[in-house]
Structure 1
Amino acid sequence: MSEKTQKPKKGNSLKIIIIILLVLIVVGGAAAAAYIVGQKGSGAKTTVVKVVESNEITFPLEEFLVNLMDEDGKRYLKVKVVIGYEENKELEAELTAKTPIIRDVVIAALRSKKTTDFSATGVDAIKNQLIKSIDPILTKGKASHIYFNDILVQ
């Protein structure tokens, strides 16, 4: 009889452990769900990112390598310049035709700069200056942005 009484106890204890684990899982899941639902109603702020569609096209002016106006005269700038403009076939043709003139204007503007001009705020000022220098050359549209790629000041 002792063997028969021991087997049901082992089976019953295993069932009790499984039932307790299932109850804990259900209670934990309910608590997690209540917490998540509570967070949504608590006024948690969400950020919505708006995607702005733009018809901006870019026109690369390729790489520039110019000496800078530092006192020692041994500093130079290597940068790829790209012009951004609103989609316009006539302006694209004009940019292609006037590329040598535009490159000359950009070289003249960049050569007048010093190494210290290429700080975070200085770069934005240089970009604005380049737009102001390029726009009078263009008759079919305007440049909206100047982008610098692979900039190196040495």
Structure 2
Amino acid sequence: MSEQKGNKLLVLLVVITLILVIGLGIVLGYFIFFKDKTNSSTQTNIKVEEKIMDLKEFVVNLSDEDKTYIRITISLAYDKKNKKLDKELPNKVPAIRDVIIEILRKKKTADFNSNNIDNIKKELIKAINSNLTNGEIINIYIQDIIIQ
């Protein structure tokens, strides 16, 4: 009988050890595989404090056949902490305006529907950022837009 007790105790210890090892494996696996996902979701919620630079109004002929033009007022947003970009942007205004005008002149009236305006903003941001060396524009705001 004591042999059976010893065997039962051994089996019970092995089962408890297996349960603890499996439980520990699950906990460690959770932290290893899902830790990056939880950190990345908190990082995307971090807002950058923006500084806004207003550009003067643009009046540009569009590429439509019927002499259509756009009047648009644009502001650039960038990281408030970037002091180098603070100094660079005023010197680059002529180049930035040139890039914006060049892109807008290639557009047609139909390109400015509500679905495409975000694509135009992305295109403008990419083109402007290619002219900057000390940082980048993170957003473009349109205050006024009239197409005639």
Q: TM-score with structure 2 length normalisation?
A: 0.66
Q: Alpha carbon RMSD of aligned pairs, Å?
A: 1.4
Q: Distance in 1 between matches of 2:102 and 2:48?
A: 30
Aligned to 2:68: 75
Secondary structure at 2:130 match in 1: helix
Secondary structure at 2:115 match in 1: helix
Aligned to 1:148: 142
Q: Distance in 2 between matches of 1:66 and 1:137?
A: 21
Aligned to 2:79: 86
Question: Quick one: which amino acid aligns to residue 101 of structure 2?
Answer: I
Question: For 1:26-84, what per-residue CA distance to the aligned partner results, in whole angstroms no more than 9, with x for missing partners?
Answer: xxxxxxxxxxxxxxxxxxxxxxxxx9754111111110000000012x21000011111
Q: Distance in 1 between matches of 2:115 and 2:88?
A: 30
Q: Distance in 2 between matches of 1:134 and 1:52?
A: 24
Question: Quick one: which amino acid aligns to residue 129 of structure 1?
Answer: E
Question: Quick one: which amino acid aligns to residue 131 of structure 1?
Answer: I
Larger radius of gyration: 1
The yes-or-no answer on 1:116 pairing with 2:110 is: yes
Secondary structure at 1:69 match in 2: coil
**Superposed counterparts of 1:3-152, under 5 Å:** 54-72=48-66, 74-87=67-80, 88-152=82-146
Q: Distance in 2 between matches of 1:54 and 1:92?
A: 15
Moved over 3 A (4+): 51-54
**Gaps spanning 5+ residues in structure 1: where?**
1-50
Secondary structure at 1:62 match in 2: coil
Q: Distance in 1 between matches of 2:99 and 2:65?
A: 23
The alignment of Structure 1 onto Structure 2 pairs a total of residues equal to 103
Cα distance, 1:122 vs structure 2: 1.0
Cα distance, 1:93 vs structure 2: 1.1
